[in-house]
C-alpha cells in the first residue's frame, strides 16, 4: 500500500485503502475454507497487518500465532 509503518495514522489509512480495493472479508473466508482449521489446529499468520485473519482463525481453532514487523499495526 506504499505506507511506512512508522507514519502516524498508517493503520487507519491502510484499512481505508484496503476496504476500497479488496474484499478483505471474502479473502479471509476463502483462506479459512482452504485451511479448514479444526479445534485442535494451530495457525501461524506472518505479516498479519491488522490481525483480521488471525481473529477469524481464532474462532475455529485453539492456537493462533500472529506476527508482524510493524509495531503500529499490532497496537
Note down the domain range covering 47. Answer: 10-74
5 assigned to some structural domain: no
2 assigned to some structural domain: no
**Local confidence band at 2 (pLDDT 50, 70, 90 cut-offs):** very low
At 26-51, the pLDDT tens digits run 999 999 999 999 999 999 999 887 78
37: helix, strand or coil: coil
4 assigned to some structural domain: no
**Local confidence band at 54 (pLDDT 50, 70, 90 cut-offs):** very high
| Spatial distance between the Cα atoms of 70 and 4, rounded to a whole number of angstroms | 9
pTM: 0.67
> How many separate domains does the chain show?
1
64 assigned to some structural domain: yes
Give, for 12, the enclosing helix (H) or strand (E).
Answer: helix 10-21
Angle at the Cα of 23 from the Cα atoms of 17 and 26, rounded to 5 degrees: 150
Amino acid at each position: 500500500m506504499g505506507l511506512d509503518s512508522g507514519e502516524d495514522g498508517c493503520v487507519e489509512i491502510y484499512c481505508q485503502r484496503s476496504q476500497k480495493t479488496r474484499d478483505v472479508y471474502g479473502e479471509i473466508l476463502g483462506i479459512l475454507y482452504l485451511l479448514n482449521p479444526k479445534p485442535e489446529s494451530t495457525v501461524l499468520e506472518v505479516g498479519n497487518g491488522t490481525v483480521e485473519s488471525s481473529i477469524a482463525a481464532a474462532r475455529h481453532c485453539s492456537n493462533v500465532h500472529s506476527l508482524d514487523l510493524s509495531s503500529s499495526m499490532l497496537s
